[in-house]
Chains A and B, each alone.
Chain A
């Protein structure tokens, strides 16, 4: 008997027999007169559809206790059967009995119904899921590895539930009959609409379809962020640039900023009444135009927002290239330039491809910047937003646009995979790691400086503006210094009962920190485990699995928000309006970046290292904890930082999911901006930026640095220390 078998049996029994099965009060008999109805008491007290779970939980008991050879089969039958029954009864029975009229016709009417599942239902579902995976492991699946089968089972189940299922609910909206068209005909009509595909701007007077707008923006953004990210990564690791720490700080700043704040700062500079515009019109007699609204503005803000993500991904890649390979190339009489072009560059290619992919998809899914900077330039994500919440209120059209957007991202994903190819890029072998990284060839060094330094300076200027903006009465009109905005936002008072949180933002700030703090470690853990499964394990349906994990990233936040409301506002799973739905939403939206970062770093680790740990008797969990995780620290930092920060700065999906009790910082700020309280919005944003900066420092300090060579003398070897800064 394995301990894991016993643990999950106990959890399953507690979930079914003791914990409250439903999330809301019901009329079913309580347990021992005190606790709300459990699966057991409800099952015997008017909800007989809960009884088969007891059967499924009982079936494996004798096999586990007797250490039978057939324990695997018993667990598979119990787990698989139980899960199938859960899906069946969950969707067949709604709030008021049968959820479809034909079921009532078939089985006759039923008196009672059910509300959403609670802790009991969730614990039982988890136990049944792990019965299935443990059973499969006992029968030899994945070389009998219980952790791997369990991880695959858990990830597949949660992705089906929290990505696939909401998306299907939305997509079924695209099939709704409309204007006398049948379902499929309406779908075709919506998918081929002129305003999506028109090429009018090339060969006629009309505007181009929104797809071409998005494509152009996405490709440009992907290229720009990758180039800038690479330049920063090279400066940080391969040059003796004196202000590396400063540069690093600047590159982290944009991701800890809510996206519309950068937009706001750019408008304050380049808008019709912006500082730069005013300066030019007053001194050079130029006429102010609205040139910043549209493609230039979106591209500028997106580049500011997403370059740091590319940088964080690429620094791991550049660091992962074993200097000994470059040294080997140099001993083979390759010059610096040849070494870079023939050795370093090909080794970086998969990382660059990943960075481009992320930049492209980020741009497509981005919502805040096109909303603020777009002007007349429509992209898919904003069009979807207006289709859902605007005067149109046409979920069918929104869903059709969502399908187009998804198809685009998937297509790019496929192209990317082909380009990267299937070469092996293992450079951190089991033989240790020695040598010093090669300096960049001179012309390249100046090119890299020329790219990174001005960009850094520009970013610095923008942040100065934002911080300054919180202290002025009214930007552009009355530039007098004031602390008014900060007092309104973060006021504290001593009352009779002690400290009073009188400031207006405390509520949303605490919710935001709580949600982000819970979501970030879950996101990083699930993302890195997924990366481990993708890189280190081979199983049937792996390509489908990978596609599913990427799916949530490709769905624009607005659609995610709507889809969650549609899918999780009714039994069997009802949790809209809670903090949990925000956490779940963030985990599945941000997981793909953690996966990408993990895959990029993990494919550079020699597979023999984990195999060796396994043969030494370490379990998969120990192997991950002791061998893989310490070597993956750059990826872990990137994932944690990204997950935390995105949970705080994202706005698109959140706007649909917040409630009065659980308001988030971004949606609160957007509300202030709508009411014209720019001072308060900027003050709150600045405080968030500072706070997130501190958190990032703490995360980096806690996780530390991958250390595989002792820092010795010399400038080149001092590099690993600086990386931690």
Chain B
């Protein structure tokens, strides 16, 4: 691909809302995408993430607020006039054009000469590993190949911002993993500003510089993958980031930045979280639980309901006084059999404290 030296632009939302009659799809959200980074919009279906993406593309009009791309106000600009391209969930390959024409389409409508656009399209196809497929029709390609054509088609325009709308949801797991790495590699290599929509937290963690978690039309939390993974600020984010054990707990003796966290029989000494209320939820990652036969002050007595041996690790379902726990123990040598009584030990870095109610932190 010929680099024109065009600087990728950032994206900024300032209190943007989108309403359909009485329904609010996006409620006054503000965020920034730094130039050259990949930001993921993550959330369950219906949370407003796709609407947000379509507002960046100009396919939906904002009801309120300002949208800036590369520092320029584009709120009223139609999709055609925005320097943004998009990879659609359905790929949206034009079924009546061959692969080369599909990829060259954007160049063609912007008036690039035939020779030039065919060369650029060929380079784009080479970049996604599809050289030799130029003359095929989309109906003659596999799902993964169609996906690559869609990516190449969006890339060759060298847009200010490249958007991905759940691009991998129609692919099988192995291919998904490969495509997601390829996309990230291309994005880093070309220094593209990208916004990526997905509902798969693992995919989000793998590709993002920043993740914005959305829930019910608002932003629940934004931060780096590490931030979100280790320091969720609400039950919703903790749950969505794969922390499946949400237990009722209490904060005691909060002083000097430390606090005692009590849940059931277990007592942990942790950094005092910035929470007002003493009644909290303790979010424990399954990987942070170790099941051992011997107890201790920081441990919780449990009964092993089910133990599953998976070769590289063990999975437990445990009953305790604070409810059911799911644990993943990476050390299969110290297996505890199903039906036995044992103790759950907790590793500090896998425990997060979030408010018991409400969506965000105080």
Tell me if A143 is interfacial: C-beta within 8 Å of chain B: yes
Interface contact B57-A615, CB-CB below 8 Å? yes
Given contacts A708-B139, A709-B137, contact A617 B90 (CB under 8 A): no
Alpha-carbon separation in the docked complex, A472 to B94 (Å): 56
Q: Does B79 touch A at the CB level, under 8 Å?
A: yes
The answer to whether A614 and B105 touch across the interface, beta carbons within 8 angstroms, is: no
Q: Given A617-B80, A617-B106, check contact A432 B138 (CB 8 Å).
A: yes
Q: Are A615 and B85 in contact (CB under 8 A)?
A: yes
Does B90 contact A430, Cβ atoms closer than 8 Å?
yes
A341 sits at the interface (CB 8 A): no
| Contact code string B121-132 (vs A, CB < 8 Å = 1, else 0) | 000000000000
Flag if A144 contacts B106 (CB, 8 Å): no
Q: In the complex, A138→B77 CA distance in Å? A: 8
Q: Which of A146, A429, A432 contacts B140 (CB 8 A)?
A: A432
Q: Is A139 an interface residue (CB 8 A)?
A: yes
Nearest-Cβ distance from residue A682 to partner chain B, whole angstroms: 44
B88 at the interface (CB under 8 A from A): yes
**B111-154 at interface with A (beta carbon < 8 Å):** 137-141, 143, 146, 153-154
Chain B window 86-124, contacts with chain A (Cβ cutoff 8 Å), 1 for yes, 0 for no:
101111111110000000011011100000000000000
Neighbour of A431 across the interface among B58, B60, B77, B138, CB < 8 A:
B138
Q: Does A448 contact B (CB under 8 A)?
A: no
Residues of B within 8 A of A428 (CB): 95
CA distance A611 to B90 in the complex (A): 12
User: Number of A residues whose C-beta is below 8 Å from B?
Assistant: 37
> B52-78 toward A: CB 8 Å interface, digit per residue (1/0)?
000001111100000000000001111
| A140 contacts the other chain (CB 8 A) | yes
Known: A139-B76, A429-B90, A431-B138. A617 touches B110 (CB 8 A): yes
Contact between A145 and B78, CB atoms less than 8 A apart: yes
- A606: B residues at CB distance < 8 A: 90, 92
B157 contacts A by Cβ under 8 Å: yes
Q: Which residue of A lies closest to B83 (CB)?
A: A617
Judge whether B84 is part of the interface by a CB distance below 8 angstroms. Answer: yes
Is the C-beta of A710 less than 8 angstroms from some C-beta in chain B?
Answer: yes
Q: How large is the interface on B (under 10, 10 to 19, 20 to 34, 35 or more residues)?
A: 35 or more
Give the contacts of A668-712 with B (CB-CB under 8 A): 706-710
Contact B80–A614 (Cβ < 8 Å): yes
Given contacts A144-B77, A709-B137, contact A616 B106 (CB under 8 A): yes
Kindly state whether residue A331 has any CB partner on chain B within 8 Å. Answer: no
Contact between chains at B91 and A431 (CB < 8 Å): yes
Question: Considering only CB atoms, which chain B residue lies closest to A429 in the complex?
Answer: B90
CB of B92 within 8 A of CB of A430, answer yes
Given the complex of chains A and B, what is the CA–CA distance between A706 and B95 in angstroms? 10
Partner of A631, one of B88, B89, B95: B95
Q: How distant is A322 from chain B, measured CB to nearest CB, in Å?
A: 11
From A140, A143, A609, A619, residue with most partner B Cβ within 10 Å: A143
Per the 8 Å Cβ criterion, residues 429-456 of A in contact with B are 429-434
Q: Mark A42-66, 1 if CB is under 8 A from B, else 0.
A: 0000000000000000000000000
Tell me if A708 and B79 are in contact (CB < 8 A): no
Cβ of A721 under 8 Å from chain B: no
Decide: A609 and B137 in contact? CB cutoff 8 A: no
| A614 and B154 alpha carbons, distance in the complex (Å) | 12
B109 in contact with A619 (CB, 8 Å): yes
A613 to B79, CA, bound (A): 9
Give complex CA distance A706, B57 in Å.
Answer: 29
Interface residues in A95-144 by Cβ distance below 8 A to B read 138-140, 143-144
Per-residue contact bits, chain B 38-64, to A (CB 8 Å; 1 contact, 0 not): 000000000000000000011111000
Cβ-defined contact, B95 with A433, below 8 A: yes
Report the Cα distance A567→B77, complex, angstroms.
41
The distance from the CB of B194 to the nearest CB of chain A, in whole angstroms, is 14
Residue among B57, B58, B80, B108 with the highest chain A CB neighbour number at 10 A: B80
B139 in contact with A615 (CB, 8 Å) = no
Task: Evaluate whether A609 and B92 lie within 8 angstroms (CB atoms) in the complex, with A432-B138, A618-B80, A620-B80 already known.
Answer: yes
Give Cα A432 to B86, complex, Å: 18
For the complex, what is the distance from the CA of A613 to the CA of B157, rounded to whole Å? 12
Within 8 Å by CB of B85, from A616, A620, A706, lies A616
Complex alpha-carbon distance, A709 and B80, angstroms: 28
* Chain A, residue nearest B61 (CB): A143
Question: Is there an interface contact between A611 and B146, defined as CB atoms closer than 8 Å?
Answer: no
Given contacts A433-B139, A614-B58, contact A619 B92 (CB under 8 A): no
Q: Does A627 contact B (CB under 8 A)?
A: yes
Q: Do B59 and A615 touch (CB < 8 A)? A: yes
Q: Give the shortest distance, in Å, between A642 (CB) and chain B (any CB).
A: 23
- Within the complex, the shortest CB–CB distance from A186 to chain B, in Å, comes to 43
> With A and B bound together, what is the CA distance between A709 and B76 in angstroms?
38
Decide yes or no whether A626 CB sits under 8 A from chain B.
Answer: yes
Q: Does the CB pair B139–A706 fall under 8 Å?
A: no
CB-defined contacts of A430 to chain B, threshold 8 Å? 88, 90-95, 138
* Residues of chain B having any CB pair with chain A under 8 Å: 57-61, 75-82, 84-86, 88-96, 105-106, 108-110, 137-141, 143, 146, 153-154, 157, 163, 170
- 10 A-B pairs, CB-CB below 8 angstroms? A430-B90, A430-B138, A431-B143, A433-B139, A611-B79, A612-B86, A613-B105, A615-B84, A618-B106, A709-B95
Chain A contacts to B: CB under 8 angstroms: 138-140, 143-146, 428-434, 606, 608-609, 611-620, 622, 626-627, 630-631, 706-710
Please list the 5 inter-chain residue pairs (A to B) with the smallest Cβ-Cβ separation, ordered nearest first. A432-B139, A616-B106, A430-B92, A708-B95, A608-B92
